[in-house]
């Protein structure tokens, strides 16, 4: 099962796990509203595709193949930066180490309140279908 970061964080939040506040967005207007709603001076504007390495990936225009922006996850310190990043991310192709050269079209963003990061953790669960269990 593939789920986006915003979907995973919503599930965690529903079950009492503390997560940063964030808003799923599909348009630049949504991203600007999210920035206003979150009330944080610093936000992360995150491409949502089913692949890792988004922060180190590159965004390309679908028609021309021209480089639009380096990095599919950006830290914004103003409303104007949110607008710039959302414009450069949505509707473009994100190529990461996991997507291959063809990349993936970005249709969704996650705008998340900023925080100081002391530690970062990743979680993966592997399902053993034969034994009907989690490894």
CA 78, 33, 52 angle in degrees (round to 5)?
Answer: 75
68 to each of 30, 58, 86, 93, how far by Cα in Å?
Answer: 21, 8, 12, 9
Predicted structure pTM score: 0.86
CATH for 5-115 is 3.30.1490.20
Which tens digit of pLDDT belongs to each residue from 41-97? 999 999 999 999 999 999 999 999 999 999 999 999 999 999 999 999 999 999 999
The mean pLDDT of 95-124, rounded to a whole number, is: 92
Return the SS3 of 69: strand
Return the SS3 of 70: strand
> In this predicted structure, what is the pLDDT of residue 59?
98
> In this predicted structure, what is the pLDDT of residue 64?
96
């Amino acid at each position: 099962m593939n789920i986006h970061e915003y979907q995973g964080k919503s599930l965690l939040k529903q079950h009492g796990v503390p997560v940063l506040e964030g808003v799923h967005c599909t348009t630049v207007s949504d991203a600007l509203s999210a920035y206003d709603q979150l009330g944080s001076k610093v936000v992360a504007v995150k491409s949502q595709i089913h692949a890792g390495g988004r922060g180190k990936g590159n965004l390309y225009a679908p028609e021309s193949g021209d480089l639009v922006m380096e990095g599919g996850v950006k830290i914004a310190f103003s409303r104007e930066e949110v607008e710039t990043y959302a414009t450069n991310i949505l509707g473009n192709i994100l190529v990461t180490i996991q997507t291959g050269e063809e990349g993936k079209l970005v249709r969704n963003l996650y705008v998340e309140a900023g925080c100081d990061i002391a530690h970062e953790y990743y979680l993966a669960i592997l399902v053993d279908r034969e034994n009907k269990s989690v490894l």
